[in-house]
Amino acid sequence: EADSMTQKELAQNVDSLKESFDNNLNRVVQTMKSSNENFDAKMNTLNQHVKDEIGALKDEIVALKSLLEEETKQKTLER
């Protein structure tokens, strides 16, 4: 009878540990998912800023090229 009581207690303890482990694992998984989502959002924001800066640089290059072409035309006309 004592052995069956001990086995019952052990089984309950194992079930309790399993439930605790499952709960902790679920919390860790949820934390990791949340962290990944935050990281992805930050990377998307950073990528958008980089794209915007590259777009602005392209616009400046086009404007400088146009200005250079205009100056070259003016010098040609002056000669």
Q: What is the pLDDT along the chain (79 residues), one digit of tens a residue?
A: 668 889 999 999 999 999 999 999 999 999 999 999 999 999 999 999 999 999 999 999 999 999 999 999 998 888 7
Q: DSSP character for 63?
A: H
- Torsion angle of the four alpha carbons 46, 51, 53, 59, in this order, in degrees rounded to the nearest 10: -170
The pLDDT, as a whole number, for residue 78 is 83
Q: Note the pTM of the prediction, 2 decimals.
A: 0.59
Query: Residue 1 class from Cβ within 10 Å (0-12 exposed, 13-18 middle, 19+ buried)?
Result: exposed
The pLDDT, as a whole number, for residue 79 is 74
The pLDDT, as a whole number, for residue 1 is 67
The pLDDT, as a whole number, for residue 40 is 95
Q: DSSP character for 1?
A: -
